[in-house]
A and B are shown apart, each in its own frame.
Chain A
Amino acid sequence: MTSPHLVWLLAGVATILIVASIIGEVLRARLSPAGDNPVIENLNARINAWWVMVIFLALAFIAGKPGVVLLFALCSFAALREFLTLTTHNRADHWSLVACFFVILPLQYWFLAIDWYGMYSIFIPVYAFLLLPVLSSLRGSTKDFLIRVSETQWALMICVYCASFVPALLYLQIPGFEGRNVILIAYLIFVVQLSDVLQYVWGKLIGRTKVAPNLSPSKTWEGLVGGTLSATAIGTALYWMTPFSPLQAAGMCLLITLMGFFGGLVMSAIKRDRGIKDWGHLIAGHGGFLDRLDSVIFAAPIFFHVTRWLWSTT
């Protein structure tokens, strides 16, 4: 499933990471030789985790459709585990939670793998939505019932349904773009994550005005505008590897970087409410899977549907 364009993109990412690693090591040698500067240590941990994530993604791309579907199914599993750890539920929900992990999640990715669009596009919003609360109600506990079932449904929508639209990009049929759909995934993830990084960098450099001081102290208007615009500019410059014209690519990039920003904002609100800083601890320096994937999760379904409406024949 590799194409020359994908190799170019991965080589570009590797170059960025090599430069970042060198800068990280130089900063460590200068400012934190004993490993006691938390900012420098966190920066290096983040860069190292990026290497691991990029390598996993590249391996999945090489393994083809099954590899990509499996990788995102595992990401969904880890994300759902983080999300449901923080939601309201009691013993009466045990079977509905078991069903989320071991029935609904595998089925969603199975429908995706067999390219049953009519099913995977409604399975969780319709079937899981209607049937899961039944499992909870059968056990008879009515305490916080609506809160419990809504939070569980929300977890499924975010961690399984929306996340599954990343691998779903592989199944679009775009005339003249056959066999290169993996580029769409690489492009989506690259632009959205680059925007995250650039928003952080711009915010650190010139950030003054906070977008939502109650939600996140690190999100500033300067970071938002600088980050989304510079990521959009870089994404537009890469239009030649996508099915889009330069203008279309710019519009798409703006759309997904904004959705990515909204994703970070909404997920921050949830974290704030539950009194935590990170969703998890498994990705060193970043936190949990949801901390890294929130923006991609929000951008993926919109990117999928807009591309499908305007370019795909299916």
Chain B
Amino acid sequence: MIPTLRAFLARVTGQAISTFARFITAPRAIWQGVEPVPHQRVYFANHSSNGDFVLLWTALPAPLRRQTRPVAALDYWLKSPIRTFIGREVFNAVLIDRRPESRTEDPVTQMATALDQGSSLILFPEGQRNSTTDPVLPFKSGLYHLAKARPGVDLVPVWIANLNRVMPKGEVIPVPLICTLTFGAPLHLAEDEPKDAFLARATEALLALKPGAA
């Protein structure tokens, strides 16, 4: 009974969060390089706001949304019972520990396990929110290691535009502005491709989706 209730509460909360995100940002998904079909994918996106994964999750059609799990920082999402509930139960996040010295599980193994279970993932390869004036921060190596561990899976770049203006870092109330999410063509790790070359290619593929980049 109690687990059913929690699951129900989690679904209602998820729906409420995504309705709110729609009300504020009227998100527009542009499927430029891929179709919105339930293929297994790793969506990797730029990260400029805490709302990024909620918006990406909201922009996915319902069948895709159900099988897609965000990869998020454990230190952030386990800070309070409410965050834990939202992170674990509502979004079913793959919670990884960003601190190498204290972690007990390897993040890449955790992500690979989630893929093996059939889930798609949402990943922010910059590893932290970007509040600089540069369009993206240098990518962490996680994306490369994941691509190497599961070479078959499609890595889909997604540019999230405008969300940093909706809710700049440090603000509490969001301003309603329209956000667009541009989904690019999938990437794969080429045979013997070195880490830096792959990460540079992935960064370029993401930046190419930025409105006005062409």
Contact = CB atoms under 8 A, between A and B. Distances in A.
Interface of A: 77-78, 80-82, 84-85, 89, 91, 94, 97-98, 101-102, 280-282
A98 B172 CA distance: 10
A26 B26 CA distance: 33
A177 B26 CA distance: 40
Contact of A91 (B168, B173, B176, B177): B168
Q: Main secondary structure on chain B at its contact with chain A?
A: loop
B175 A97 contact: yes
B84 interface: no
Contacts of B26: 78, 81, 280-282
Q: Which 9 A-B pairs have the closest CB atoms?
A: A97-B175, A85-B178, A81-B176, A85-B177, A281-B28, A98-B173, A91-B168, A101-B176, A94-B171
A81 B174 CA distance: 12
A91 B170 CA distance: 10
Contacts of A98: 173, 175
Nearest to B28: A281
Contacts of A85: 162, 177-178
Nearest to B168: A91
Interface string B155-178: 000000010010010010101111
B177 A102 contact: no
B176 A77 contact: yes
Interface in B179-193: none
A96 to B, nearest CB: 9
Contacts of B173: 98, 102
11 contacts: A77-B176, A81-B176, A81-B178, A84-B175, A84-B176, A84-B177, A85-B177, A101-B175, A101-B176, A280-B26, A281-B26
Given A280-B26, A281-B28, A94 B178 contact: no
Nearest to B178: A85
Interface in B133-170: 162, 165, 168
Interface in B77-91: none
- B interface bracket (residues with beta carbon within 8 Å of A): 10 to 19
A91 B175 CA distance: 11
Nearest to A275: B212
A158 to B, nearest CB: 16
B168 to A, nearest CB: 5
Interface string B11-39: 00000000000000010100000000000
B176 A94 contact: no
A94 B174 CA distance: 9
Nearest to A281: B28
Given A98-B175, A101-B175, 12 more contacts: A77-B176, A81-B26, A81-B176, A81-B177, A84-B175, A84-B176, A84-B177, A94-B175, A97-B175, A101-B176, A102-B173, A280-B26
Contacts of A91: 168
Interface string B66-82: 00000000000000000
A212 B37 CA distance: 43
Q: Which of the listed residues B162, B168, B175, B177 has the most CB atoms from chain A within 10 Å of its own CB?
A: B175
A78 B177 CA distance: 9
Nearest to A93: B175
A174 to B, nearest CB: 36
A281 B25 CA distance: 12
B103 to A, nearest CB: 34
A80 B178 CA distance: 10
A102 B174 CA distance: 10
Given A94-B168, A281-B28, A282-B26, A82 B178 contact: yes
Contacts of B177: 81, 84-85
A98 B165 CA distance: 12
Contacts of A89: 165
Contacts of A80: 176
A77 B28 CA distance: 17
A89 B178 CA distance: 14
B73 to A, nearest CB: 24
